Structure 1
Amino acid sequence: MTGRAPLLVVGDALLDRDLDGHADRLAPDAPVPVVADCAERLRPGGAALAACLAARDGREVTLVAGVGEDPASRELTRLLEPWLRLIPLPLTGPLSEKTRVLARGRPVTRLDRGSGTTREATDAARAAIRGAPAVLVSDYGRGTADALRDVLTGHPPLVWDPHPRGGPPVPGTRLVTPAEQEAHRFAGQGSGAVGELRAAARAAATLVEELRAGAVAVTLGARGALLSYGDQPLLCPAPEVHGADPCGAGDRFAATAAGLLADGALVGEAVEGAVTAATAFVGEGGAGTLMGLSEVSTEAAEAAESGDGVRAVLARVRAAHGTVVAAGGCFDLLHAGHVRLLQAARRLGDCLVVCVNSDASVRRRKGAGRPLTPLDDRVRVLLALGCVDAVAVFDEDTPERLLAELRPDIWVKGGDYSGADLPEAALLQEWGGQAVLLPYLDGRSSTRLMTRAAGAL
């Protein structure tokens, strides 16, 4: 951890799925696009997304949310396990799922299923709220905030992030962060005033008074956010305007604001920091790239100045029509064999992205007691190598999903595979990539190092 304050997130968790392909023709039976060659990405959604974003900031996070035993709930629990502590609340039905169909990153349609709502509070959830120094409520209207409204009223949260189907924040909340349309709805102004700063300012002032909130920050998308304490508002403009996917920007805003307030920032400082973070989040591709391309915590990324972001590296190399090389492994104890392999891989192209197993993935593959070196430290060491341009982390047992997002031209494996059974070879062929083997340096292995170290004790 980095010394950042812990955060408790209370709200409604979703399972989000993106199906991203290309649409080059219309269907013969209806004037609708045919989206082909879809790659599937799963990620936490709703309050679970806000919680994961806070955890990726290097913060200790606990999530209180409705999660059941249905397949979507189990998948969400698996995605959350490496990042945070989950206190589940019982659901009335299957977890809500949101599936977006995209064509080259642009949404075509959305499919929703799962009607489960939080059935009741639990003693564990109530105790967690009472004992938490900092609480963020992310209310998507699926019952969690309502089930815990009594205890939240007695312990008002730092930030309440309302959504269209949710109820009003409890009185005494320090900062309420509605989107513009939600602000008008809560203030009883309808949706006709959306886009007018004067109307947004009136809505914010009304909400400060009616909700007895410390402040209201109305998020305005590419324009930034309007902060009101009930009088003259402060406009916090976005530092840049991006045309990328804004999905999840509101959760990024709320998670950042709550974290900064928990760390002792003033409300104005927290809102300005949240605008900056949400703008950068959209510029990097938004929630659609969350679980594949940037699983490295802020602490690890800041620790190695030589490590550019994955997306920036890929964009730069592909703009110059260069060759993207990727290599993967646990890299629990980095040794000379690893270094030689990575150096050779880098010489095959114009950049090298190293795909690293998360701590949970290593444990499943290697057993209890592994990894010896935690993820942040493994990332730091890899980024310090001159031959490594970027690091991406995957939580699955194998890197197929991450490779489908990276789509490298060359995928490098150590020489303990034969060409016939290289697991990722067929996947690489889908986009014309090539899997290659490179020989290991004889006599070097992490297992051998651990055995020798144990024998010397």
Structure 2
Amino acid sequence: MNSALTSFGHARVLIVGDVMLDRYWTGPVQRISPEAPVPVVRVRADQVRAGGAANVALNVAALGARVRLLGVIGRDAAGAELRALVQARGIEAEWIESPSLPTITKLRVLSRNQQLLRLDFEESLDCTDGFDRASLRQRFAQCLADCDIVVCSDYGKGTLVDVAALIGLARAAGKPVLVDPKGTDYARYAGATLLTPNVPELEAVAGTAVDDADLLARAEALRARLGLEALLLTRSEKGMSLLRAAQPPLHLPAEAREVFDVTGAGDTVIATLAAALAAGVELPQACRLANVAAGIVVGKLGTATVSAAELEAALHHPHADTGVVDEDTLLRLVAAARARGETVVMTNGCFDVLHAGHVRYLEAARRLGDVLIVAVNDDDSVRRLKGPTRPLNTCADRMRVLAGLRSVDWVVPFSEDTPARLIGRVLPDVLVKGGDYRIEQIAGHDIVTAHGGRVVVLDFHEGYSTTRIIERARQLP
């Protein structure tokens, strides 16, 4: 599986389909409108992202594969924004401009990470003067020689009205074709390599299933009828099922630990599948990668992507989101956190007898970023620092207690007298130490600042001391 990740850079993916601009307005809700029983959102942020087939392209690019995108936009401000978003990610794009129709735009209004309203600005491209279909087919044919696999991302907006012709061109050129389908006319996808419908989409075409066995039977019948090599059925909380000719179904359980937003999850699935297959990964293994990627992306807000670092971390340590980790695991998790744009905070200490002062200090450190790493002196280094009677608690016990704190994400041991070496490997965005230290006295401060990070000294709360607790315990009768 790891070799698949390192070879994504050699994969070449061509994506054609409905591109759109996703806009997000976010802000607090503090009252109900006097004009109607609806919440009033005070908009504090306006964010735009590439959606639809463009989001598929971003997902492929995030994995490190080379991607070319072919889509239709309007001659408007939204089209210009979408162009800029795609270009900023280093994606080669072939744009077909519609002279009369707007760029498809979806505006979502959110408060406290909950979607309150969605507004769609669009007209169907499925009309004679919607766009130059011949130009799209011509550009598609020209792009085929420079790709390993084709993705048709159909959102039912009209870009793929001639999808059967595109599939025919790709198959004649010897290129596999993956389709994320829409609507009820699946006959136009005949001859594709693989389809990725979800359960409602499948049942809209094949009929409502009475149970799981019936659902898989209907999916297999559809696969055979369309002459597909495979059909990957995405089943929400039940995971995925891969159906292939003359082989038993392959069932993959859902990987998500917390579902935050399913927007764009299908884009991530087909993007990961395409990148993996283009990199030479066998289909069952590629589906496993896509399943893991889907489990990551539903934990993010809105249309989002999954990086190779996040995927690698999830594959190597699927249950190591928090808690005690070794150094190599920590580095993979930190890479995944950075890929998500998170700020990494790090502190260190013996934490021999955990007390309220420690807890308050760690809570304050956690507020400086998105994830908090606590590096803990192992038992030998504590003895060198504190004397032969310390520590009172073993390193394993101390780390386990720290890992149970809500403010702490990862706990890692170190054996040296200072954590400078470990800090040099992690390179946190914020290095924190408690007490009356000067910054230049803090181990690792020079490494962190040299790499653009900052060092923060936090005050310890008065009245709390491990030494004082030990002395008081010794005075007890």
TM range (shorter): 0.5 to 0.7
1:77 counterpart = 2:83: yes
Corresponding position of 1:224: 239
Query: Could you tell me which residue of structure 2 aligns to residue 388 of structure 1?
Result: 429
Q: Please say if 1:96 is aligned against 2:104.
A: yes
* Residue matched to 1:19: 25
- 1:309 and 2:317 correspond: no
Preserved contact between residue 310 and residue 335 of structure 2 (Cα < 8 Å):
no
- Give the CA deviation at 1:111: 0.4
Structure 2, unpaired ranges of 5+: 1-6, 126-130, 314-327, 347-359, 371-406, 409-422, 432-453, 455-477
Change (3 A) 1:186 1:238: same
- 1:335-374, aligned counterparts within 5 Å? none
Computing the radius of gyration from Cα coordinates, the structure with the larger value is: 2
How far 1:60 sits from its partner (Å)?
A: 0.7
- Aligned counterpart, 2:122: 114
User: Could you say if the C-alpha distance between residues 206 and 2 of structure 1 is closer, same or farther in structure 2, counting changes exceeding 3 Å?
Assistant: closer
Shift of 1:99: 1.0
Give aligned-pair identity as a percent: 28
Provide the aligned C-alpha RMSD in A.
3.6
2:68 maps to 62
Deviation at 1:203, TM superposition (A): 2.9
For the Cα contact (< 8 Å) 1:129–1:152, is it kept in 2?
no
Distance in 1, matches of 2:177 and 2:220, equals 18
Q: Is the 8 A contact 1:301 1:307 kept in 2?
A: no
SS of residue in 1 equivalent to 2:28: strand
Q: Give the counterpart letter for 2:113 in structure 1.
A: G
TM-aligned CA deviation for residue 23 of structure 1: 2.6
Q: Is the 8 A contact 1:90 1:120 kept in 2?
A: no
**Counterpart residue type for residue 193 of structure 2:** R
Q: Residues 241-288 of structure 1, C-alpha deviation per residue, up to 9 Å, x if partnerless?
A: 3231111111000100111111122222111111111101112x1434
Determine whether 1:210 maps to 2:225. Answer: yes
Cα distance, 1:207 vs. partner? 1.6
Partner of 1:268: 284
CA contact (8 A) 1:66 1:89 kept: yes
Q: Runs of 4 or more off by more than 6 Å in structure 1? A: 299-304, 315-319
Does the 8 Å CA contact 1:248/1:286 hold for their aligned counterparts?
no
- The alpha-carbon deviation at position 112 of structure 1 amounts to 0.2
Looking at structure 1, the residues matched to 268 and 218 of structure 2 have their Cα atoms a distance apart, in angstroms, of 22
The aligned residue for residue 86 of structure 1 is 93
Whole-angstrom distance in 2 between the partners of 1:129 and 1:383:
45
- Bigger drift between 46-55 and 161-170 goes to 161-170
Query: 1:161 corresponds to which residue?
Result: 180
The 1:104–1:383 alpha-carbon spacing in structure 2 relative to 1, beyond 3 Å, is farther
Q: Distance in 2 between matches of 1:169 and 1:324?
A: 53
Aligned residues: 331
Q: Partner amino acid for 1:73?
A: G
TM-score (norm 2): 0.61
Q: Which amino acid aligns with 2:194?
A: L
Report the CA distance between 1:169 and its aligned residue: 5.0
Residue of structure 2 in register with 1:320 after alignment: 363
Which residue, out of 294, 318, 322, partners 1:278? 294
Decide whether the 8 Å contact of 2:9 with 2:66 is kept in 1: no
After superposition, give the CA deviation of every residue in 1:138-173 in whole Å (9 maximum; x if it has no partner): 011222222353142132343111134886553232
Query: Which position in structure 2 is the counterpart of 1:236?
Result: 252
Letter of the aligned partner of 1:104 in structure 2?
Answer: R
Whichever residue aligns with residue 15 of structure 1, its letter is L
2:261 equivalent in structure 1: 245
User: Could you say what secondary structure the match of 1:67 adopts?
Assistant: strand
Is the alpha carbon distance of 1:43 and 1:139 closer, same or farther for their aligned partners in structure 2, counting shifts above 3 Å? Answer: same
Q: Quick one: structure 1 residues 25 and 77, their matched pair in 2 at CA, closer, same or farther if it must change by over 3 Å?
A: same
1:228, 1:154 → 2: CA distance?
A: 25
**What letter is aligned with 2:198?**
A
* Deviations 1:106-136, CA, capped at 9 Å, x for gaps: 1111100121524413222221135532111
Quote how far apart the aligned CAs of 1:221 are. 1.6
Q: Match for 1:249: what amino acid?
A: A
Report the Cα distance in structure 2 between the residues aligned to 1:270 and 1:389, rounded to whole angstroms: 37
Corresponding residue number in structure 2 for 1:134? 149
Q: Hey, what's the Cα distance between the residues in 2 that align with 1:244 and 1:383? A: 34
Q: Is the 8 A contact 1:141 1:166 kept in 2?
A: no
Change (3 A) 1:262 1:301: closer
3-state SS of paired residue (2:192): coil
Query: How far is the alpha carbon of 1:179 from its aligned partner?
Result: 1.4
Note if contact 1:121-1:148 (Cα within 8 Å) is conserved in structure 2.
no
Aligned to 2:404: none
Q: Normalization by structure 1: what TM-score?
A: 0.64
Cα gap change, 1:313 to 1:51, in 2 (>3 Å): closer
CA–CA distance in structure 2, aligned partners of residues 224 and 217 of structure 1 = 10
